Amino acid sequence: MKIRACAKINLALDVLGKDQSGYHFIRTVFQETPELYDEIEIEESAASTENQVAIFLKKKFGIEKNVKIKIAKNIPRGSGLGGESSCAAAILKALNKIWELKLTADELQKIAAKFGMDAPFFILGGTTLGTHFGEEITPLPFLKNITFTIIPRFSQNFEKTKTAYAGLDLKKCGHSKNMTEKLIAAIKNNDHKAVIENIHNDFETLTPARIGEHLSGSGPSTYSIEHGNGIDNNKKKMYKNITNIWKESRKKNIRYIVMYHSIPILEVNPIDAEEMILDALVKDVAEARKNVKKGEVYSAAEVYKKLGIK
């Protein structure tokens, strides 16, 4: 069985405090982004199962069969795009079918929460309100005729989310709950203008996003949003290449991407990655990819020069 595990972004994220165990109460609007996804292949195997989701289900339901699970990562780890939780949820749903467990959506969500507080969202996908620690899910209408352009970024901190929450000043958080309510109303009315006006994220008090971009989760990835018939056709065409580009960068273990108007077009390993977000006219993606050799280290100034950008 071959399945996809899609990325997510957060259209709203309010941090409302924390409990005695240190978990933070949040109110967030999740949005599934099918354009960026991990690829998962599941097949029967004689060897022992290594995947933690499969191990949990085998133990809980007395399953004697084993499976081999291969995951092709296109969603960067530690990016704020939910890749690990999405994979866990996708595998959980797939094994529910393969092993004929007949678990309901509610039962799947409860199990998914053991593998990440945003994992229950991925059981349903679409557009969803998450409350409590993010694991209590309420479906919302799926946004139509709207384009999200993801700008994936990496974190080398394996406890990135924990570190980000620890760095928040809770006195500066939780003041945009009215915007979340307006956002939910806008989603229900498919009011794109109001959706864009009410996007917010309390983690931007810690890490402000660039102009025209919004932070996803605790970051560092961001996204931009467009609606209506004004979406640039060339941009839409270029955006279709994002998955293939991430496949190449994954194989070569290249950690950063040169951007054109928020769209990844070229893999490099720059000294100063943040300076590589290029907002300049590049005539042809193929030409740009040819002009900078993959895998070599360049300063921002050198890349600008090689791309012919002043």
What's the pLDDT tens digit per position in 23-55? 899 999 999 998 889 999 999 888 878 899 999
Tokens of 166: 């620890």
Which listed residue (8, 58, 93, 160) is catalytic?
8
Integer angstrom CA distances of residue 155 from 50, 94, 140: 26, 29, 30
Domain 2-141 class in CATH: alpha beta
Please confirm, yes or no, whether 118 is among the known catalytic residues. Answer: yes
Question: Does residue 230 register a pLDDT over 50?
Answer: no
Query: pTM for this structure?
Result: 0.74
Please confirm, yes or no, whether 8 is among the known catalytic residues. Answer: yes
Enumerate residues 6+ apart whose C-beta is below 8 A from 222. Answer: 150, 151, 153, 209, 210, 213, 214, 215, 216
Question: Does residue 197 register a pLDDT over 60?
Answer: yes
Tokens of 291: 């002009």
Enumerate residues 6+ apart whose C-beta is below 8 A from 91. Answer: 3, 5, 40, 42, 51, 53, 54, 69
* pLDDT tens figures, 68-122: 999 988 888 888 999 999 999 999 999 999 999 999 999 999 999 999 999 999 9
Which listed residue (38, 58, 93, 118) is catalytic?
118
Question: Does residue 176 register a pLDDT over 90?
Answer: yes
* 29/11 Cα distance (integer angstroms): 5
Domain map of the chain by residue range?
2-141, 148-230, 236-306
pLDDT value of residue 1: 93
* pLDDT tens figures, 124-149: 999 999 999 999 999 999 888 888 88
* pLDDT tens figures, 210-219: 777 899 999 8
